[in-house]
Amino acid sequence: MKNGPYERLRDLPGVGASLEGDLRLLGYHRPSDLVGADSERDYDRWRKLTGVNERCMLYVLRCVVYAVETPRAKRKPELLNWWAWKDSELEASKRQAGFPQLTIHGTPKRSTTMPNRCAQKVS
């Protein structure tokens, strides 16, 4: 049920039992609760609550917020995959749209290696 409608958290793209538990830990119990959510803030909260530093959680948060906030008819199927929300993918999209490259202390940001758990594409 990747393209909705989203009635349960597990209906959201990329969300299984484990991620459903993580979303509940953050206070989200229904997909509609995620409308207006701040993915970066929620990722920081999740890291503090769990003690885990796994960047793919941020990518999933970005993906599910996109899914619930974008009308079904306007959703792009390729953006309903968490890996489309990796930092490197977002930067590439911004460059194609004419935005400047993200830099840190004057040096272009380098992409990082994904943890093993995140390296696999999930359906």
Per-residue model confidence as pLDDT tens digits over 42-62: 999 999 999 999 999 999 999
- Greatest Cα pair distance, the chain, in angstroms, is 45
Domain positions in the chain are 9-119
Task: Quickly state the pLDDT bin for 92 (edges 50, 70, 90).
Answer: low
Give the C-alpha separation, 97 to 9, whole Å: 32
**Across the chain, how many H-helices and E-strands are there?**
5, 2
CA distance 31 to 69: 10
**Residue 13, amino acid:** P
What is the Rg, in whole angstroms, of the alpha carbon atoms belonging to the chain? Answer: 15
Residue type, 72: R
How confident is the model over 8-34, as a mean pLDDT?
97
Q: Residue 53 and residue 10: Cα distance in Å, rounded?
A: 22
Residue at token pair 């793209």: 13
